[in-house]
Structure 1
Amino acid sequence: MVCPQFVLFGDSITEQSFRPGGWGSALADSYSRKADVVLRGYGGYNTRWALFLLDKIFPLQSSKPPLVVTVFFGANDAALLGRSNERQHVPLLEYKENLHRIITHLKNCSDSMLVVLITPPPVDENGRSQYARATYGESAVELPERTNETAGTYAKSCIQVAIESGVPVIDLWSKMQETVGWQQKYLSDGLHLTPEGNALVFEELLKILSERGLNFVDMPDDFPHHSIIDDKDSQKSFQGRK
């Protein structure tokens, strides 16, 4: 039996998700022998650059497209013009259009594919400034390259795209800020996730998967558990498995 694929498509927050305590590694562990979790995260990428990857990662002619794809972009698109990371900036309307193009492409790959959008997380501007000084010294730019207000605007646009496209969305920007002290609890450098932040993404994603009948408890194993293999006639236990 060939396991279905879950592809995690996004920027550095996705790329880092297979690190210890990451939401991707938690997903791979939970769906062991149920689904193959494939990491396609690209640090520093915005939705404009992500469009160039679609045909390469998700070819339309694939005979076995992914069952689930998470699309997690926006943290870089929301970088501010005139600041240190302005080359990553994508205007808000273009960001929305790019998300629509990504979703359309994925739906053209498979009309049964579950596409899950994830909004950019909130930004702890003080945490970003502290990270910049620790990394680049006191000469680091004082003005943050991202603000929480701008991240929230992109998050709201991501939600709008999800509604317009009829796909589920994890509103990470709002969900994290429901917790007092979210800045230190969920963010390691004002932007990227702590183990607790990763756990929140995993929990929210698991809710959506479960609602769509894809809870790992209910999905079949690829091959039989060792305890049910007939040691007298092992071949019988593998009949019908492809």
Structure 2
Amino acid sequence: MRPKIVLFGDSITEASFDVGGWGAALANCFCRTADVVLRGYSGYNTRWVLKVLDRVFPLKSQTQSLSLASPSNVVAVTLFLGANDASLPDRSSAFQHVPIAEYHQNLLAIIAHFKALWPCTVILLITPPPIDEDGRLRYPYGENPSGLPERTLESAKAYATACLEVGREACVPVIDLCSKMQSTPGWEKLYLSDGLHLTAEGNRVVFEEVVEALQKEGVSPEKRTVDLPLLSEMDPNDPLKSFQLLP
């Protein structure tokens, strides 16, 4: 069975299979060597994710779909949460807020669940992206009577730091997307469409960072075999011979 790469996170993951999305690009990158499985839940924070984690990824294999419970079948999983946790507790998206200490512990619990389910799978953390506060004011989620952004760059950076700390504590690799994006002048509008979600360029950055991080962990298309013969491998005089040689 073709191995799988699972993408798990909030709306930035859910939208990753949209046109130009980083998940779609990853699926194209690994075409014929691994299936990229999308598990994105728009608006979710780590507290909500923990409530449904065993439903999405049951530890009991007989209830799991897509053979995701097979330890050898999932080669990598991305964990991309925190943008909603970082909503400020006194503004319009307060219902999504999770205190930073709880966010830290929730990430550790999610990682522990993945390690129990897939002991040999690469778990790749991604920090929440930076926030363009002007963009959030231009594109608010719902009513915003305060006239203040429900997320701030300062808060996003604090949660990104917590995510990096979790990576060190759990010994899993982390993509510091927050710092990576801010290193480019004009990142606010170049990478973010509404102050939070990704533009095409923002998706490209995530895709490139994920591919590079997976390569460092030994997960790359070049190191995997295709599951059926390539056209270039077939004998034009006897194409069916290639299928007769399959194990």
Q: Shorter-chain TM-score category? A: over 0.9
Is the 8 Å Cα contact of residues 116 and 167 (structure 1) preserved in structure 2?
yes
Aligned position for 2:118: 110
**Aligned sequence identity (%):** 52
When normalised by structure 2's length, the TM-score is: 0.91
Q: 1:83 to 1:223 in 2, by over 3 A?
A: same
Q: Does 1:79 align with 2:121?
A: no
Q: Per the alignment, in what secondary structure is the counterpart of residue 103 of structure 2?
A: helix
Structure-2 change in CA distance of 1:136 and 1:45 (3 Å):
closer
Gaps of 5+ in 1: none
- Residue 64 of structure 1 deviates from its aligned partner by 1.6
Q: What CA distance in whole angstroms lies between the structure 2 residues aligned with 1:82 and 1:109?
A: 37
- SS of residue in 2 equivalent to 1:122: coil
Taking the aligned partners of 1:53 and 1:32, their CA distance within structure 2 comes to 30
1:125 to 1:233, Cα distance in 2 relative to 1, 3 A: closer
Structure 1's consecutive aligned runs of 4 or more residues displaced over 3 angstroms after TM superposition are: 235-241
Partner residue in 2 for 1:129? 137
CA-CA distance at 1:3 after TM superposition:
1.1
TM-score (norm 1): 0.93
Report whether the alignment pairs 1:99 with 2:107. yes
**2:212 match:** 207
Q: Mark the runs of 5 or more structure 2 residues left unpaired by the alignment.
A: 62-68
Distance in 1 of aligned mates of 2:232 and 2:156: 50
- Give, as a single letter, the amino acid of the residue that structure 1 aligns with 2:217: R
State which of 57, 63, 70 in structure 2 corresponds to 1:64: 70
Amino acid at match of 1:22: G
* Bigger Cα displacement from structure 2, 162-171 vs 219-228: 219-228
How many angstroms apart in 1 are the aligned matches of 2:246 and 2:47? 45
Q: Are the equivalent residues in 2 in contact too, given 1:223–1:238 (CA < 8 A)? A: no
Larger mean Cα displacement after TM superposition, 53-62 or 174-183: 53-62
Report the CA distance shift for 1:153/1:226 in structure 2 as closer, same or farther (over 3 A). same
The match for 1:153 among 148, 154, 158 is 158
Query: How many residue pairs were aligned?
Result: 237
